[in-house]
Amino acid sequence: MKLKLLVLVLLSSCALAANAHDACMANGQASAEMNADAGTNPAAADRELNTVYQQVLLKHAMDKNFIRKLRAAQRAWLAYRDAELAARYPDPDPRTAYGCVYPDCAAGLKARLIHARISQLRMWLVGVAEGDVCAGSLPIVGDPD
């Protein structure tokens, strides 16, 4: 009796997994479109990041020490981004371990990390308010009021 119940449970699990896989495959294109529309497209975010990074390099080209340090920071940030993704999804076979939503989830996380870096880099373009005693090398703009 227990063996029959176990076989029934296993067969039901396989059928559910097959249905879930089919639903994932059918939803694949819709998910990619949703990512692009929701601003979670890492390729688009990467292009924006590269544009902003190049603008910062151009604006501060005369400050060789800053450029050297910024390049080192960017390399470290790229390593951080990749390590953060690997830590969130450490399984060697992420599609099996995290399901069909893994590509969408990983893409969303990567895009959020990139957007945060874009915000950090933009500060070297737009500056910070006068009176910010922790501004460091960031440009100072405007009146503190």
pLDDT in tens, 60-113: 999 999 999 999 999 999 999 999 999 999 999 999 999 999 999 999 999 999
| Structure letter (DSSP) for residue 55 | H
Distance CA 35, CA 17 (A): 25
pTM score, two decimals? Answer: 0.74
In the prediction, which pLDDT does 140 show? 93
Length of the chain: 145
Paired tokens of 120: 């950090």
Nearest CA-CA partner of 45 in 102, 123, 89, 110: 110
